Structure 1
Amino acid sequence: MLSSQSSILTIGNNSRRMRIEKRLSPVVAFSSSSRLHQRPLRYAVLGAGFAGLSVAWHLLEQSPMELHVSIDVLDVVGIGGGASGVAGGLLHPYSPKVKPLWRAAECWEESLKLLRIAETSVQTKESSFNNGEIAKSSYGFIAHRRGILRPAVNSKHMSIMNDNAQNSLGGCRIQCINEDESQTLLPNISVPSNLAFHMPNALNIHPQPYLEALYGASETLAKDMTSVGPGEKAINFHNKSIDKLLELEGEYDAVIVCLGARSNFLPELSGRLPLRTCRGVTAHFHLPENIREEIPEHSPSILSDAWLAIQDPRNLHVGSTWDWKSHNYSQNVSMEEGSRALEELVPKACAIYPNFKNWVFHGASAGLRAMPPLTGNGSLPLLGRIDHLISKNHASKFWLFTGLGSRGLLYHAWLGKLTAQAVISCDEGLIPLEFTSWRPKL
């Protein structure tokens, strides 16, 4: 079988078509009138956050060109309507709490690839409406490439980040800098120990436009693959609630559960997954018009006891709080919840960036994280077949990809790719055992 192994989105329809056709032999690259007569493979992806949209993209990108494939993405709260859509968006391959992250290199590279695919999709779509000129998305940006700065606030942080710096990736190195150098990057930042760790290649991603662009890229990919290959490809989004997995029994060849914390609310999975739920609030701040000392354009975001994700010189997001065992996955934040969050976040933000006292609160959003158990390799997401949790005799194959916790941006691309490959080949062995060992042995 011929497989799609690389991203095929490029700017311009002609170049995109040429790249697709290069992967096909002359025998299979024929017109739509010669398509094979076959029943399409039908996949249901439950959840339209980081995990679900990564799986959906890779199911298309990895599927053999000659097969008919139809993918339904189902999510009652919409694309990015859960925790993914309100995430802080700080992407870097390091942990501020434990040893360097396991398999960080694969995670980092695959996340960058998926980000480029989303950005190219937006640029291609918007350039067609602007006489070929590339415009920003309606949200202003998908990703800022201005790095992340982490001041060492105590000896523990210093030891951990020194360890990370010594094992840093070539694509995202860590530089040890002093307070004067830190002030050059972000004026008025507080560096109490005269040591900070700068990750110049780290990114600040705006999750909502990223997710919407990734879904748009998937739609384009399906159309492009259909236009040049013998197999038809289709992807559709459904704003639909699934009350139980058995509703989908026999309707799809495979069902992939990517619902994050909401996976625990399905009756077949309730109480059977080693997940903890944790609700986090992200507060939004802006600089009043009478304050002129705005953040310079080049300044990095800050990672500390509270993180500060800089949106533009006069807007930033601050997070995050930790409300354990919550069952509230709404993005809306009540006045009471918002007040509690500010009491916790503002002192932490001011401690590392004293000028934060001049900023004004103008809203908040929240999400319910699915926190996986701690293993010898860190807190790893949960992947694998879950047929034995659904029913003994089933016509569909059921899979799980959940538990991204607070590292969804780092893990989602690589693990979405592995999950898609496993689903297409019906081979769970393609997923490292570290991600499937959460299940009790049968």
Structure 2
Amino acid sequence: MPPAGIVQKPNLNPVFSLWELKSPVIQGGFCRIRSRRTTTSPVVLSSSSLRVRSSSSLAQPYLRYAVLGAGFAGLSVAYHLLQHSPRGLRLCIDIYDEVGIGGGASGVSGGLLHPYSPKAKLLWRGAECWKECLNLLSIAEAVVASRDSTLGTKEFDRKFDRFIVRRRGILRPAMNMKNFSVLNDNAQNCLSSCRIESIDKNAAQNLVPNLSIPFNSAFFMPEAVNVHPQRYLQALFLACKNQVKKMSTLGFGEKELYLHKKSVNKLFDLAGEYDAVIICLGAKVDMLPELSGRLPLRTCRGVIAHLQLPDDRGEEYPDHSPSILSDAWLAVQGPRNLYMGATWEWKSRNYSPEVSAEEASKAFHELLPKVSTVYPCIKDWAFSGAKAGLRAMPPLTPNGSLPLLGCVDDFVGGNNTCKYWLFGGLGSRGLLYHGLLGKLMAQAVLSCDEKLIPSELISWKKIKQ
């Protein structure tokens, strides 16, 4: 199972100052505030909080942002807020998530990453999304490789003793003539950075021994990858922490980053504390009374089964072999560990990652026939558990099913000294979209300018419920 969330070491002298926020003003293209320091009693930070300070002057302008959610969207926004904040800007980011890093649907996703739709067509801004996502993956891997972390060495090694990104490609067997024709046509117009290669049955079986090829052809994406979402998100959080430390040390203005393992029940509870609140809660956005029932999102619960090869079985999944994408998918975790997914339960309201025995059995018997059609050896593997996530699925547009971004002050109302932003509806493609869209959202928030977000991502507000 994916590792548990990161636990931060408590600050030995955890005292910080609160600020009385006044109306925002624009300075140098970035949203700044006028503030004055107030005297407060010491505030004790929880063990899940991080604080890094520099010796910059307390008289400088100060921005406070709240990011709700610590999944793909929330951590991408947090990273890019730090990355794109101007030199000298004093910035504090509070991340709120009641479970912690990757505690929602992001942390239980399959992690099969490529820039194509099920019909192999390039997704909206697929090349840019692919590039930005690979960049964040590289950043996460680099921070682990460097061991540049505030965690103890033993704890760090225990959390990241296996892969974050598995680079073995993804294989898609053709299931019928129509499927073959669609995949073959689009293979001719694929990205050079993520090729789609048409291969025959023998070549496919060289990649995955004992593979069954129903239509004698398959399509291989050698540059596609398999990401372990929990390890990736925890490593990206470490990259945010290290960025705070580095920027503060180099004199880029005082930067602070906090992780609060608590939920926010009402947006109005944050009014007066922050210059901006960025809502990245996925399906849980509907639990906020200010937005409940007002967003064009559908919920879908997906169950993923974890399979292990019994000790008395010798047919391990070869280390060089790609993951498999078909009517169901196999995400390879190791020679004797696989994830199989995923089910689709529309309109579910079950937010729990826990899976009952009945739900697990139903999911297993639904997925196994689909996978065994292309990988018969899966019948020798043993079920060892299941996990689930509730995804927020966006509406269909002429550009495909695109996430929802934009300023939602009109929805929330109330205190206009705080701007409210939404980054939601990532659906089943959150891993691909989160890098580019997190960057665009951060730039819009820092500049207080929704026009920096592509119009197709904010058009949903014209048909809001």
TM-score after normalising by structure 2: 0.85
CA distance in 2: counterparts of 1:126 and 1:231, whole angstroms: 21
Show the counterpart of 1:19: none
Describe the superposition over 1:301-357 as per-residue Cα deviations: whole angstroms up to 9, x where unpaired.
000011000111111000000011111111110001001101100111111101111
Matches within 5 A, 1:425-440: 425-440=447-462
Show the counterpart of 1:38: 60
- For residues 315 and 441 of structure 1, do their structure 2 counterparts lie closer, same or farther at Cα, with a shift above 3 Å needed? closer
CA distance in 1: counterparts of 2:350 and 2:415, whole angstroms: 34
**Superposed displacement of residue 158, structure 1:** 1.9
**Superposed displacement of residue 32, structure 1:** 5.5
The one-letter code of the counterpart of 2:262 is K
Show the counterpart of 2:314: 292
Pair 1:407-2:429 in alignment: yes
- For residues 405 and 130 of structure 1, do their structure 2 counterparts lie closer, same or farther at Cα, with a shift above 3 Å needed? closer
- For residues 318 and 429 of structure 1, do their structure 2 counterparts lie closer, same or farther at Cα, with a shift above 3 Å needed? same
The one-letter code of the counterpart of 2:441 is T
1:116 alignment partner, SS class: helix
Describe the superposition over 1:108-151 as per-residue Cα deviations: whole angstroms up to 9, x where unpaired.
000000001111111112799999xx978535110100000000
Runs of 4+ in 1 over 3 A off after TM superposition: 31-36, 126-131, 134-139
- For residues 139 and 278 of structure 1, do their structure 2 counterparts lie closer, same or farther at Cα, with a shift above 3 Å needed? farther
The one-letter code of the counterpart of 1:246 is F
2:286 alignment partner, SS class: helix
CA distance in 2: counterparts of 1:147 and 1:408, whole angstroms: 19
The one-letter code of the counterpart of 1:381 is P
CA distance in 1: counterparts of 2:90 and 2:352, whole angstroms: 36
- For residues 33 and 249 of structure 1, do their structure 2 counterparts lie closer, same or farther at Cα, with a shift above 3 Å needed? closer
**Superposed displacement of residue 156, structure 1:** 3.1
CA contact (8 A) 1:149 1:300 kept: yes
Q: Which one of the candidate residues 74, 77, 86 is aligned to 1:52?
A: 74
1:436 alignment partner, SS class: helix
Describe the superposition over 1:16-58 as per-residue Cα deviations: whole angstroms up to 9, x where unpaired.
xxxxxxxxxxxxxxx9556462242000000000000000000
CA contact (8 A) 1:123 1:135 kept: no
Matches within 5 A, 1:162-181: 162-181=184-203
Show the counterpart of 1:224: 246
- For residues 62 and 2 of structure 1, do their structure 2 counterparts lie closer, same or farther at Cα, with a shift above 3 Å needed? farther
Show the counterpart of 2:331: 309
Show the counterpart of 1:106: 128
Matches within 5 A, 1:5-404: 33=55, 35=57, 37-97=59-119, 99-125=121-147, 137-404=159-426
Describe the superposition over 1:199-245 as per-residue Cα deviations: whole angstroms up to 9, x where unpaired.
00000000001001101110100110000125101111001111111
1:269 alignment partner, SS class: coil
CA distance in 2: counterparts of 1:163 and 1:277, whole angstroms: 32
CA distance in 1: counterparts of 2:202 and 2:117, whole angstroms: 25
- For residues 324 and 38 of structure 1, do their structure 2 counterparts lie closer, same or farther at Cα, with a shift above 3 Å needed? same
Q: Structure 2: state its 5+ residue gaps.
A: 1-26, 30-52
CA distance in 1: counterparts of 2:188 and 2:431, whole angstroms: 23
The one-letter code of the counterpart of 1:190 is S
The one-letter code of the counterpart of 1:114 is L
Describe the superposition over 1:369-404 as per-residue Cα deviations: whole angstroms up to 9, x where unpaired.
000001111110000000000015422000000011
> Which segment is superposed worse, 94-103 or 71-80?
94-103
Q: Structure 1: state its 5+ residue gaps.
A: 4-30
**Superposed displacement of residue 90, structure 1:** 0.3
CA distance in 2: counterparts of 1:287 and 1:332, whole angstroms: 23
CA distance in 2: counterparts of 1:80 and 1:404, whole angstroms: 14
CA distance in 2: counterparts of 1:212 and 1:386, whole angstroms: 29
CA distance in 2: counterparts of 1:77 and 1:227, whole angstroms: 30
The one-letter code of the counterpart of 1:95 is S
CA contact (8 A) 2:277 2:421 kept: yes
CA distance in 1: counterparts of 2:315 and 2:127, whole angstroms: 38
CA distance in 1: counterparts of 2:278 and 2:164, whole angstroms: 27
TM-score after normalising by structure 1: 0.90
CA contact (8 A) 1:145 1:204 kept: yes
CA contact (8 A) 1:80 1:207 kept: yes
CA contact (8 A) 1:45 1:72 kept: yes
Identity, in percent, stands at 61
**Superposed displacement of residue 162, structure 1:** 2.2
The one-letter code of the counterpart of 2:227 is I
CA distance in 1: counterparts of 2:287 and 2:151, whole angstroms: 43
- Count of residue pairs brought into register by the alignment: 414
For the aligned residue pairs, the C-alpha RMSD in angstroms reads 2.2
